[in-house]
């Protein structure tokens, strides 16, 4: 696959919502809309083209037991890449994956450092665990390790209460978010339930992961403050299985998880309709395998998000949000080719016919059968 210097992408290139172009050329790894003068040794790809998809909630370097070795981290990044996810926002990883930056066959990663959790209030060995007085200091440390993001665990099961509760007092999150912003980093937080959301939004948080606990009380606040959400619906789909495992010891928690799951589509659609910015993320790397970006976009459509908006959440708007270009003149040629129009058949996103990263074809169909639909492994349950 090496050696190709000029690609001609012939078909419909979706460069923005409602904006398509005809031929696009790839020269020296970059996009150009001008036909090269010496167009020899041209490889032509036909189809429908999107900018490289964004998986805004991925965990390269994280496995069920915490940190993984570099070979496993590489396999995770390759699985995302081959599914068409060519820009990853890593939502917390205990592994130093900086070495991937030197690999032009792996997708760029926007890192959030390591998760920051309250002591014994998250999955064992995933996070840096601190108490509220240490939170701002931990945020400063992780901000310096990341690429402009910090990841908090905002709520988790409280074993004494037997339910999801907020992990942090309001004054601690205010100080922590202010500290991150002074470092030039944005902050996101894992939140399943309702009660952490108001404090986080009022403290100026930039994004919330999962956000299943949004209600008619907090959705307007998120919309007004421009707090983004990454719903990770493919992960929320695992809630009933988790609830069944935890039922005996934590019946209140299990019932809560089931309620959040039951209203997940209504929650996401209501947030979208109210103007809350939302982006696609899969949570690949801990509870779920990598490579599920196509399924996540399809889930947004199932939730009732208009297909153009679901595509924007995975492409144009998500790239703008992360400060990376789409298919513009001179941009890195990171694009995905499909055999059908994804606006008419969202299912095609699970089966890219070609994946082009930095101007090189890195993956082509057929992919390993079922690679995007492997059943999820259960999350190491919080009740163990």
What DSSP line would sit under 278-305, residue for residue? Answer: B-----BTTTB-S--HHHHHHHHHHTT-
Shortest CB 235 distance to Zn ion, Å? 7
The reply to whether 334 sits near Zn ion by the rule CB under 5 A is: no
Interface with Zn ion: number of residues (CB under 5 A): 2
Binding mask 256-285 for Zn ion (x = CB under 5 A): ---------------------------x--
Shortest CB 114 distance to Zn ion, Å? 12
Binding mask 81-110 for Zn ion (x = CB under 5 A): ----------x-------------------
Shortest CB 225 distance to Zn ion, Å? 22
Report the residue number, 58 or 315, with the smaller CB distance to Zn ion: 58
Buried b (16+ CB within 10 A) or exposed e, 175-208: bbbebbbebebbbbbbbbbbebbbbbbebbbbbb
The conformational region for residue 132 under phi > 0 = left, psi -120 to 50 = alpha, else beta, is: alpha
Nearest Cα neighbor of 76 from 352, 364, 293 is 293
Closest-approach residue to Zn ion (CB):
283
Buried b (16+ CB within 10 A) or exposed e, 67-93: bbeeebbbebbbbbbbbbbbbbbbbbb
- The C-alpha atoms of residue 299 and residue 282 are separated, in whole angstroms, by 11
Report the residue number, 192 or 316, with the smaller CB distance to Zn ion: 192
Report the residue number, 199 or 283, with the smaller CB distance to Zn ion: 283
Shortest CB 326 distance to Zn ion, Å? 25
Q: Which residues bind Zn ion (CB under 5 A)?
A: 91, 283
């Amino acid at each position: 696959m090496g050696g190709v210097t000029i690609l001609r992408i012939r078909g419909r290139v979706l460069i923005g919502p409602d904006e398509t172009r005809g031929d696009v050329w790839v020269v020296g790894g970059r996009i150009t809309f001008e036909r090269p003068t010496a167009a020899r040794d041209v490889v032509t790809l036909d189809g429908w083209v999107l900018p490289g998809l964004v998986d805004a909630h991925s965990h390269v370097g994280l496995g069920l037991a915490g940190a993984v070795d570099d070979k496993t981290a590489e396999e995770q990044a390759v699985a995302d890449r081959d599914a068409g996810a060519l820009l990853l926002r890593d939502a917390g990883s205990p592994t130093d994956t900086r070495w991937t930056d030197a690999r032009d066959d792996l997708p760029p990663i926007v890192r959030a450092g390591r998760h920051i959790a309250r002591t014994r209030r998250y999955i064992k060995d995933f996070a840096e665990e601190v108490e509220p007085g240490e939170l701002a200091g931990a945020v400063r440390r992780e901000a310096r390790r990341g690429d402009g993001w910090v990841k908090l665990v905002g709520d988790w099961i409280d074993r004494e209460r037997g339910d999801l509760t907020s992990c942090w007092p309001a004054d601690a999150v205010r100080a922590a978010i202010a500290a991150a912003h002074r470092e030039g980093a944005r902050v996101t937080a894992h939140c399943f339930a309702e009660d952490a959301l108001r404090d986080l939004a009022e403290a100026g948080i930039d994004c919330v992961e999962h956000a299943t606990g949004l209600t008619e009380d907090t959705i307007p606040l998120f919309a007004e403050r421009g707090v983004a959400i990454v719903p990770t619906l493919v992960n929320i789909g695992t809630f009933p299985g988790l609830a069944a495992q935890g039922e005996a010891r934590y019946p209140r928690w299990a019932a809560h998880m089931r309620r959040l799951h039951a209203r997940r589509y209504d929650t996401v659609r209501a947030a979208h309709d109210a103007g809350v910015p939302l982006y696609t993320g899969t949570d690949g790397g801990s509870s779920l395998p990598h490579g599920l970006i196509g399924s996540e976009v399809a889930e947004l459509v199932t939730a009732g998000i208009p297909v153009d908006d679901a595509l924007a959440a995975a492409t144009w708007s998500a790239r703008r949000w992360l400060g990376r270009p789409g298919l513009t003149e001179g941009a890195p040629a990171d694009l995905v080719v499909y055999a059908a129009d994804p606006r008419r058949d969202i299912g095609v996103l699970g089966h890219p016919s070609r994946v082009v990263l930095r101007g090189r074809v890195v993956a082509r169909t057929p992919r390993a059968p079922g690679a995007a639909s492997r059943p999820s492994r259960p999350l190491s349950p919080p009740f163990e």
